[in-house]
């Protein structure tokens, strides 16, 4: 059985005070949640103070990105081992905003996936098609390319540790959520890709989150689908009530 995994991607939001307040509020509100895994991914600068607040809680800490090189002359970047050093368990990699706004390729994502695994982090690897790609009937092709590129040369043992997040770009921050059927279709396709490459035993344990306008009122229906194992939440992860509403809806 795959445990549901709800992660909040705070993106480039909040300030130190509001990040700390949100972490404190979540720590308290989620204290009795044992049925699902929870994580928050603050902006890098706030990872450590938020981690200090969350210490000893059931909420895991994640970063939104990391670099693939080991320590050295890489101005502005963060080594994966620096993320574990300040308590991160997870790192989001290949988010569509990094792919499409910052020009990250699946080859870049792949280097980061390997670096993250080597540092002992659990990568949450995002894939997803844009609206015009869905309209042109290439949804599966796009997701397969991103999957193949991002997980190139990842071993079966390492694949088991990875989380995939299917985030259709057209559903991110738009309020336009994929229907549970649309999402399930891609999740099942992705799980099948894992099965073809690694075998069913690996496919059975890899968790695939859905992301894109997840809210308390649509989470339950989405996560009731057999291949949807959690959610990667943007906007609704920025308020205690909204994020807890999702968690409580699926427990
Ligand atoms: P929203 O929940 O704001 O649509 O963002 C989804 C997302 O991009 C999470 O990584």
The secondary structure of the chain as a DSSP string is -PPPEEEEE-TT---HHHHHHHHHHHHHHTTT--SSEEEEE--HHHHHHHHHHHTTSSEEEEES--BSS-SSS-TT--BHHHHHHTT--EEEES-HHHHHTS---HHHHHHHHHHHHHTT-EEEEEE---HHHHHTT-HHHHHHHHHHHHTTT--HHHHHH-EEEE--GGGSSSS-PPPHHHHHHHHHHHHHHHHHHH-HHHHTT-EEEEESS--HHHHHHHHTSTT--EEEESGGGSSHHHHHHHHHHH-
Position in ligand 1 atom list of the atom nearest CA 211: 6
Position in ligand 1 atom list of the atom nearest CA 172: 4
Position in ligand 1 atom list of the atom nearest CA 215: 2
* Spacing, Cα 96 to ligand 1 middle (Å): 10
Active site residues: 95, 167
Position in ligand 1 atom list of the atom nearest CA 173: 4
Percent of the chain surpassing pLDDT 70: 100
Q: What is the pLDDT of residues 152-189, one digit of tens each?
A: 999 999 999 999 999 999 999 999 999 999 999 999 99
Other CB atoms within 10 A of residue 241 CB: 11
* Spacing, Cα 71 to ligand 1 middle (Å): 30
Is the per-residue pLDDT at 99 higher than 90?
Answer: yes
Ligand 1 neighbours, Cβ below 6 Å, are 9, 95, 167, 172-173, 211-214, 232-236
pLDDT bracket for residue 245 (50, 70, 90):
very high
* Spacing, Cα 5 to ligand 1 middle (Å): 15
Mean pLDDT of the chain: 98
Q: Using CA positions, which residue lies closest to atom 2 of ligand 1?
A: 234
Is the per-residue pLDDT at 1 higher than 90?
Answer: no
Q: What is the pLDDT of residues 49-64, one digit of tens each?
A: 999 999 999 999 999 9
Closest CA to 84 of 60, 108, 104: 60
Instruction: For the full predicted model, state whether its pTM sits above 0.75.
Output: yes
* Spacing, Cα 247 to ligand 1 middle (Å): 15
Q: What is the pLDDT of residues 127-145, one digit of tens each?
A: 999 999 999 999 999 999 9
Q: Which of 165, 178, 232, when mutated, tests ligand 1's pocket best, judged by the most ligand atoms within 8 Å of its CB?
A: 232
């Amino acid at each position: 059985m795959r445990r549901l995994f709800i992660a909040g991607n705070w993106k480039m939001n909040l300030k130190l005070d509001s990040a700390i307040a949100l972490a404190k509020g979540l720590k308290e509100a989620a204290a009795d949640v044992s049925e699902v895994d929870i994580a928050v991914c603050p902006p890098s600068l706030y990872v450590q103070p938020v981690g200090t607040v969350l210490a000893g809680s059931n909420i895991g800490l994640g970063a939104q990105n990391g670099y693939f090189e080991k320590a050295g002359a890489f101005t502005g970047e963060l080594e994966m081992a620096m993320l574990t050093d300040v308590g991160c368990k997870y790192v989001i990699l290949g988010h569509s905003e990094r792919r499409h706004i910052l020009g990250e390729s699946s080859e870049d994502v792949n280097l980061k996936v390997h670096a993250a695994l080597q540092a002992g982090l659990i990568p949450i690897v995002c894939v997803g098609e844009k609206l015009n790609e869905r309209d042109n009937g290439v949804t599966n092709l796009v997701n397969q390319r991103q999957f193949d590129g991002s997980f190139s040369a990842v071993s079966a043992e390492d694949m088991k540790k990875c989380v995939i997040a299917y985030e259709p770009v057209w559903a991110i921050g738009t309020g336009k959520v994929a229907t549970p059927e649309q999402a399930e279709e891609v999740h099942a396709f992705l799980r099948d890709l894992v099965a073809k490459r690694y075998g069913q035993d690996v496919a059975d344990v890899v968790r695939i989150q859905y992301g894109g306008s997840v809210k308390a009122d649509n989470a339950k229906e989405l996560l009731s689908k057999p291949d949807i194992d959690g959610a990667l939440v943007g906007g609704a992860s920025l308020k205690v009530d909204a994020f807890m509403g999702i968690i409580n809806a699926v427990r």
